[in-house]
Amino acid sequence: MSNEMNTMDIHEILKYLPHRYPFLLIDRVLDYTPGDTLHAIKNVTINEPFFQGHFPVQPVMPGVLLLEAMAQATGLLAFKTMSDDVPPENVLYYFAGIDKARFKRVVEPGDQIHFKVKMIKERRGIGVFVGEAIVDGQLACSAEIMCARREITL
């Protein structure tokens, strides 16, 4: 059994996700196992555009963006599960649902978020995942996420 890690740098992530600045919320994938798990990170800086208004005196990353970043991690895992090939431009994974979202800790400038997602099941292009956002070993957010594979007309 190999101990080699499957990683993705930002250049490879950009081949799989349609998101771009300021909405790309995954910086690197540290490891993944297709059909099972993915571990990604986001380095949070004061330069994030959302900190200008949320909140200027006490900057806190919006919880919905934690969920969006978790959904982006699930999309990467879904694509890597489907095939190791770069997907065609017209294939996307849409955020299809969320359940049991819980927020346990604020995320502030200087934090590094570890997103850990696990595939629970997939049927007919719809995947169900559980995810966690962890900062300094503490759970910041958790949720069940559904995403749906769709082909779009370009």
Active site residues: 54
List residues bridging with 117 in a β-sheet. 38, 131
Rounded distance, CA 85 to CA 10, Å?
16
Rounded distance, CA 43 to CA 53, Å?
19
Residue owning tokens 């996700």:
17
Are the beta carbons of 54 and 65 closer than 8 angstroms? no
- Cβ-in-10-Å burial (0-12, 13-18, 19+) of 109 comes to middle
> Listing from the earlier edge strand, what are the strands of the sheet with 37-43?
28-33, 37-43, 112-123, 126-135, 138-151, 91-103
